[in-house]
């Protein structure tokens, strides 16, 4: 029987074949997001008999071009992060500020079958769904770095079909700011709506993949939101219940 890529040895072999260095600590770096990394993720999906829906390179670049076409030439670009983009954007940034987005809220509404999960043990990934408010940060990319850094950003966020890129207006301590962000694509096969609590907790607690554990993502998000003075009570409750589940598994 062929080993699935959920086996660390199989994943490491696929990474070596592409010359990709996997992050030991789960931290993503801008150097990772090359064409070889995209190829590696496709290899992983094939090896685990997954059905992860990848965007074609052409579709991803067309989406990026359309969004950047609405950005004033010569101006710096801000983007809003509400998950790991808060602490691990993996692009060159000049400035970061706390921010709040009205009209959207965080939701673990995307199945996670690659990266920090597998088809056999899927986890759950955050996206923005309509309604409510969401705290996070905005990062500023210098005007002359927009093309290179958004190329990386799109490989990071738009590898699959789970997200849509939009322009939004956020509130910051310095006033309103237009910012790029990524919201859920409800037409994606990865969209699962709102899982029940037991399913969500078990999925996050058990899922892991080539770039780390799903639970570590949740714990890190809680820590970084608290560090910015924006604790999320609902997220902290989820994290506590995931820890309890993991303690029982141990």
Give dist(CA 57, CA 171) in Å, integer. Answer: 33
Nearest Cα residue to 126 out of 239, 36, 37: 239
Give dist(CA 129, CA 201) in Å, integer. Answer: 19
Please report the beta strands in the chain, taking only residues with DSSP state E, as ranges in sequence order: 77-81, 95-112, 123-141, 163-172, 175-184, 208-209, 212-213
Three-point CA angle 41, 214, 39, nearest 5°: 5
Nearest Cα residue to 118 out of 47, 201, 186: 47
Q: Of 94, 157, 206, 244, which one is the catalytic site residue?
A: 157
Structure tokens at 48: 């685990």
8 A C-beta contact, residue 103 and residue 171: no
Residues 6 or more apart whose Cβ sits within 8 Å of residue 170:
80, 99, 100, 101, 138, 176, 177, 179
8 A C-beta contact, residue 98 and residue 126: no
Question: Active-site residue 157, yes or no?
Answer: yes
Give dist(CA 114, CA 124) in Å, integer. Answer: 10
Give dist(CA 174, CA 171) in Å, integer. Answer: 8
Which residues belong to the active site? 157
């Amino acid at each position: 029987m062929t080993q699935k890529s959920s086996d660390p040895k199989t994943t490491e072999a696929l990474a070596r074949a592409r010359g990709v260095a996997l992050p030991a600590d789960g931290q993503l770096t801008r150097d990772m997001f090359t064409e070889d990394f995209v190829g590696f993720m496709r290899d992983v999906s094939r090896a685990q008999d997954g059905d992860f829906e990848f965007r074609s390179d052409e579709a991803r670049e067309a989406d990026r071009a359309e969004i950047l076409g609405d950005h004033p030439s010569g101006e710096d670009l801000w983007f809003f992060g509400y998950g790991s983009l808060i602490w691990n954007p993996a692009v060159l940034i000049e400035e970061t500020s706390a921010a709040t987005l009205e009209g959207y809220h965080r939701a673990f509404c995307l199945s996670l079958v690659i990266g920090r999960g597998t088809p056999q043990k899927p986890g759950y990934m955050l996206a923005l769904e309509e309604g409510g408010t969401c705290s996070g940060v905005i990062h500023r990319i210098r005007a002359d770095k927009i093309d290179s850094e958004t190329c990386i950003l799109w490989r990071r966020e738009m590898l699959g079909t789970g997200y849509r890129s939009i322009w939004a207006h956020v509130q910051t301590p310095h006033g309103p700011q237009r910012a790029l962000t990524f919201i859920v694509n409800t037409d994606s096969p990865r969209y699962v709506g709102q899982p029940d609590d037991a399913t969500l907790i078990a999925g996050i607690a058990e899922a892991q993949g080539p770039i780390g554990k799903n639970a570590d993502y949740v714990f890190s998000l809680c820590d970084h939101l608290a560090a910015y003075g924006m604790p999320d009570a609902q997220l902290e409750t989820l994290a506590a219940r995931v820890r309890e589940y993991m303690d029982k598994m141990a």
